[in-house]
Amino acid sequence: METKEKNKSQIHANHRKRLQNLIYTSDLKNLSEIQILEYILTFCIPRKDTNPLAHNLLDEFGTIGDVLEADYDRILSVKGIGPVAARTLKSICKIFHYNMEQTKTKQTQLLSNPAQIIDFFRAFLDKKTNENFYMASLTPKSELIKVDKIADGTVNKISLDIRKISEFAIKNNASLVIVTHNHPDGNPQPSGEDISATSKIFSALSVLGVGLVDHIIISKDSYFSFYSSGLLDHIMEAEHSKQSKLSNKIFSLVVDQSQVDIETETKRANIYEYPTNKNS
């Protein structure tokens, strides 16, 4: 019995070595997704044949990309997959996304129209099952300085810290900013919260002298551009109107107070007895 177990263990070890060499020396396009996923699972499942587990995962999700992007709980529900394997798969997904984001950010990018922006940010937001919010800091010529992740949330909600956007804009010495987030449910139309958040972002950036170029909502097959739709113009006009009304109100209060001060001083002057020169 012990000899059989040793032979079985040796077979798995030899198979893993061959698989590792195959992954290392071959173009991944020439390999099956079963082989690639089977190899990934060897990182966290020792002394066990991972081929059946790779089949189970692909039967459930379809592709390696879908496996890695799936929710932790769904991965964990697949037969034979335990917490360690599920965490490993999700960790690898995070590493892939991190590498992609770093690579995209380091490339010289010109983000001057919605088509370029959408194409650029799809790499960040595609297949995300929860809402994620990013901002791109730009030079005055719309050249990319840096991309920062501002927040992530649930499948249909995100908590946004406007102060963070201002802090990153200052840190990156941005002249222009583009913000974007995804709607995993497939409908890119902005909610009332999205419109309100955009208004607050525009207002916060205006104080810094930084321009908001666009807020783009990306879904699986579509997008919504605040700029292209004209909604950003309406938000800007509304914010300018608020600021103008506030300025007028402050000015009115200052003038009214000045008038009160003048009237008070006049009354005081009328009743105040100035000292006279006794020697005159």
Mean pLDDT of the region 99-112: 66
Instruction: Determine, yes or no, domain membership for 122.
Output: yes
Query: Which domain-ending residue is among 50, 76, 100?
Result: 100
- State how far Cα 120 lies from the chain centre: 13
CATH number of the domain bearing residue 225: 3.40.140.10
65 in the same domain as 142: no
Percent with pLDDT over 90 in the chain? 30
Out of 33-47, 88-102, 121-135, 188-202, give the one with best mean pLDDT.
Answer: 188-202
43 in the same domain as 93: yes
State both tokens at 56.
């189970």
* pLDDT greater than 70 at residue 119: yes
159 in the same domain as 82: no
- 86: helix, coil or strand? helix
94 in the same domain as 197: no
Q: CB within 8 A of 225, min separation 6: which ones? A: 114, 118, 214, 215, 216
* pLDDT greater than 90 at residue 30: no
CATH number of the domain bearing residue 7: 1.10.150.20
14 in the same domain as 96: yes
Mean pLDDT of the region 116-122: 86
Q: What angle do CA 21, 63, 71 make, to 5 degrees?
A: 110
227 in the same domain as 111: yes
Which pLDDT band, with edges at 50, 70 and 90, does 214 fall under? Answer: very high
Mean pLDDT of the region 223-237: 91
CA dist., res. 34 & res. 57, Å (int): 9
Which pLDDT band, with edges at 50, 70 and 90, does 200 fall under? Answer: very high
* pLDDT greater than 60 at residue 1: no
Which of 4-13, 121-130, 203-212 has the weakest average pLDDT? Answer: 4-13
* pLDDT greater than 60 at residue 6: no
Q: How many domains does the chain have?
A: 2
Biggest CA–CA distance in the chain, Å, is: 130
CA dist., res. 223 & res. 187, Å (int): 8
- Residue ranges making up the domain that contains 40: 2-100
pLDDT at 71: 85
Query: Which domain-ending residue is among 100, 123, 139?
Result: 100
pLDDT at 186: 85
* pLDDT greater than 90 at residue 156: no
229 in the same domain as 133: yes
pLDDT at 207: 92
- CA distances in angstroms from 49 to 55, 110, 187, 215, listed in the order given: 11, 48, 42, 48
Which pLDDT band, with edges at 50, 70 and 90, does 177 fall under? Answer: very high
Instruction: Determine, yes or no, domain membership for 269.
Output: no
pLDDT at 22: 81
137 in the same domain as 47: no
- State how far Cα 50 lies from the chain centre: 34
Instruction: Determine, yes or no, domain membership for 225.
Output: yes
Instruction: Determine, yes or no, domain membership for 277.
Output: no
Decide: pTM greater than 0.75. Answer: no
* pLDDT greater than 90 at residue 202: yes
